[in-house]
Amino acid sequence: MPTGIADVVSFRGEPPAPTVDFPRPERLVRGNPARTTWDWYTDPTERVFAGEWACEPGAWRIEVPANQVEVCTLLHGRVRLSDDTGASVEHGPGETFVVPAGFHGTWDTLEALKKTYVIVLL
């Protein structure tokens, strides 16, 4: 079914109500950072999600499902992603990166950050 301009979602204006959560205790590496999510968009099939996410400094283990890919753009702050071999990469403001399906490692928020995200379930 065709869609029109009324279906385009802009991340401006009054944001949706946020949700706040914390990493599961068994996954914590450092701190206990509050994570705030503003879900701006979910497609009708519930396989594509987009929004904004903010996080306080802290680190935890992540295990991305084999059927999920996430594209992130940092608006501000810094993050270090490390895989299970110990290899790591840092990202800062204005940088975009993809967390691939099946990624296992550590998400370490080095400086309070805010990002936009798109999650696709394959």
Walk me through the domains of the chain, giving residue ranges and CATH numbers. 36-121 (2.60.120.10)
* pLDDT above 80: residue 1: no
The predicted model scores a pTM of: 0.95
**Residues 6+ away with beta carbon under 8 Å from 93:** 74, 75, 76, 77
Q: What 3-state class would DSSP assign to 26?
A: helix
Interatomic CA distance for residues 94 and 110, integer angstroms? 16
Section 6-24 average pLDDT = 96
Query: Is pLDDT above 80 for 119?
Result: yes
HSE toward the beta carbon, residue 7, CA cutoff 13 A: 7
What digits encode the pLDDT tens for the residues 67-89? 999 999 999 999 999 999 999 99
Identity of the amino acid at 42: T
Q: What pLDDT does residue 2 have?
A: 84
